[in-house]
Amino acid sequence: MCPSQLWTVPGEPVKTDKNSRRGNWGNQIEFILTSVGYAVGLGNVWRFPYLCYRNGGGAFMFPYFIMLVFCGIPLFFLELSFGQFASQGCLGVWRISPMFKGVGYGMMVVSTYIGIYYNVVICIAFYYFFSSMTNLLPWTYCNNPWNTPTCNGVVTPRGINNTLANVTRSLVTGAAEVAVEVVNKTKRTSPSEEYWKHYVLQISDDIGNFGEVRLPILGCLAVSWVVVFLCLIRGVKSSGKVVYFTATFPYVVLTILFIRGITLEGAVTGIKYYLTPQWHKILDAKVWGDAASQIFYSLGCAWGGLITMASYNKFHNNCYRDSIIISITNCATSVYAGFVIFSILGFMAHHLNVDVSEVADHGPGLAFVAYPEALTLLPISPLWSLLFFFMLILLGLGTQFCLLETLVTAIVDEIGTDWIVRNKTVVTGGVAIVGFLLGVPLTTQAGIYWLLLMDNYAASFSLVIISCIMCICIMYVYGHKKYFKDVEMMLGFPPPIFFRVCWRFVSPIIISFILIFTVIQYKPITYNDYVYPGWSLAIGFLMAMSSVICIPIYALYKIAKSEGTTFLERLKNSCKPDMKWGPALSEHRIGLYATPGSEGEVEVRPLKEELREKEKEDEKRDEISLTIQGSNGSTEHNTTPSA
């Protein structure tokens, strides 16, 4: 029996904050951990430390935290409150102004693109994780069939045929012997880079030359999707339990790697490169642009995931508190990961007798080339490699859970039938299968080209446009005063004045700045020395536009379907909130949202309306009483009904 149908006192139903039909998080810790897992992803490890180093070290922290306070946290709070108030996914929330539902479809398109290539990155991490289950990492030496004559490792191969103890000893002593030779080479190719290119990817020479499907990577992709599906098989009920491990264990691994890293020779040098302030760079607009972009993309704004995760909260949950906790945790993780990365890179640079800048990298180059190579210098290197790639897998899965749940929730909420709600697992499985099939081309020999193309274009300026339109719709089309009252009704207090100002003015201005900065700083994508052909860049722009184009197309469709004789009337009606907009449960629909309750739910109506209906019932009761008395021959008549 539904909790809302239970009765403790006759005539007084028990109010519940649970959405029994749609489901809720088991507790608030599950929501916070899931959101942390969503926000804290691979970019925190392989992008932020490099950006910080490149943009002035410690000086970059200043614009980074300024952007966090004035853009990151306000947008995070806006999306959480938006989804929690309506208890709907990224499509259902646009009952607030139906004409803008195309923004929700744009979010779905973006999440689809990211979900496809993100799981391919996870599957490659799986591949490296399995490859690390050996006594000697396969990218340690240059004596493998896939190596070229230009290969030169950081570890001498002299002890390769000796016992494991001799090999371990050579990890420390051998680097010094090859350092001079490495420096003198005009072009050094590391064994980890050749393992990545020639063995794992078997990369082709052009984005149009797909070659064959790399079966080991395809198998790992299947494993990735099966893991994601099993963790989401019961929606938030199952994923909420999984995140207790997936969202917390990466911090254990980071701490282990950090402790190991700072004890190495040269680690201090690497950390100095990471943190040493270059204050003159604060005056560079590019530094501020990078800080704003990193905050925006790192928190996952405009993907639809924040709205979706918050929609499973109880109505009166304090999402204001949650937004601050999650945002600060995300940024603190980025800073912490920088120590882990640069302590190891500093150690590697020390052994090679080169500058840290020559070994620093970002993206796949850091995760699958530079860092794995540095790990070969450590004693018991397979252990550290296992930990590192296991951490990458968990960081990726935390984000992937939310991306898949975003799509599934949007589909289930939009169709909304009892059958599809009961069979949500079928929808989850269907979306996972489609995601796997769409990811197959990325496992070919040209897959890395397409992966980077999607990463650079599918979720770039389109996210900024989506977020900007969302702010404009809520604050200016729906109305900031109404939304502030909605938040107050939900939380019990209005949004602090700082957030009201940011939502209306500051955040949209910063978002516009990010968009302008993205356009000005645009450079055609390259991969190492490979320059992408024009037709592939055109496909990239089409991917970027495919999410944005949803907004005007649906707006025109909604205007055409709206009532009205003139265009302005139709436009006005299409912008009005839908009758279903508001809290999902009847017990929360008070004031402007009060509606007659359905069976099994608490009916909440204004007090005056209840009093008027009570008066009418009393009048009818008195009239019936007079009629009965007259038929019995009673001489007592009361022509004035009691109040």
Residue 602: inside a domain, yes or no? no
Q: What CA–CA distance (Å, rounded) separates 544 from 526?
A: 17
Specify the pairing of strand 530-531 against strand 526-527: antiparallel
Opening angle at CA 410, ends 405 and 416, nearest 5: 120
Residue 32: inside a domain, yes or no? yes
330 annotated ligand binder: yes
What integer pLDDT is reported at residue 188 of this predicted model?
66
For residue 188, give the amino acid letter.
R
What integer pLDDT is reported at residue 185 of this predicted model?
41
**β-bridge partners, 13:** 7
Residue 293: inside a domain, yes or no? yes
Residue 568: inside a domain, yes or no? no
Q: What CA–CA distance (Å, rounded) separates 147 from 132?
A: 19
- The alpha carbon of 39 is separated from its chain's Cα centroid by a whole number of angstroms, namely 5
395 annotated ligand binder: yes
Q: What CA–CA distance (Å, rounded) separates 580 from 284?
A: 48
Q: 312: closest CA among 6, 586, 20, 15?
A: 20
Find all residues with CB under 8 Å of 364, minimum gap 6, and list them.
46, 121, 124, 448, 452
What integer pLDDT is reported at residue 176 of this predicted model?
36
40 annotated ligand binder: yes
pTM comes to: 0.86
What integer pLDDT is reported at residue 268 of this predicted model?
94
How is residue 578 annotated by DSSP?
P
How is residue 158 annotated by DSSP?
G
Q: What CA–CA distance (Å, rounded) separates 272 from 179?
A: 22
What integer pLDDT is reported at residue 461 of this predicted model?
85
Q: Assess contact for 546 and 221: CB atoms under 8 A.
A: no
Here the tokens at position 295 are 């905050």
Residue 576: inside a domain, yes or no? no
Rounded to the nearest 10°, the torsion over CA 379, 122, 83, 434 is -170
- The alpha carbon of 56 is separated from its chain's Cα centroid by a whole number of angstroms, namely 27
For the chain, what is the mean pLDDT? 87
Residue 39: inside a domain, yes or no? yes
Residue 467: inside a domain, yes or no? yes
Q: Looking at residue 309, which CATH number applies to its domain?
A: 1.20.1740
DSSP run (H or E) holding 7: strand 7-9
How far CA 214 is from CA of 187, 423, 515, in Å, comes to 28, 34, 37
Q: 228: closest CA among 109, 114, 394?
A: 394
313 annotated ligand binder: no
The structural domain count of the chain equals: 1
What integer pLDDT is reported at residue 455 of this predicted model?
92
Phi-psi region of 600 (alpha: psi -120 to 50; beta: other; left: phi over 0): left
236 annotated ligand binder: no
407 annotated ligand binder: no
| Phi–psi pair at 189, nearest 5 degrees | -110, 120
Q: What CA–CA distance (Å, rounded) separates 169 from 240?
A: 45
What integer pLDDT is reported at residue 619 of this predicted model?
55
Sites in the chain below the pLDDT cut of 70? 1-16, 156-188, 595-643
179 annotated ligand binder: no
| Residue ranges making up the domain that contains 125 | 28-140+194-561
What integer pLDDT is reported at residue 639 of this predicted model?
37
Residue 159: inside a domain, yes or no? no
Which tens digit of pLDDT belongs to each residue from 71-119?
A: 999 999 999 999 999 999 999 999 999 999 999 999 999 999 999 999 9
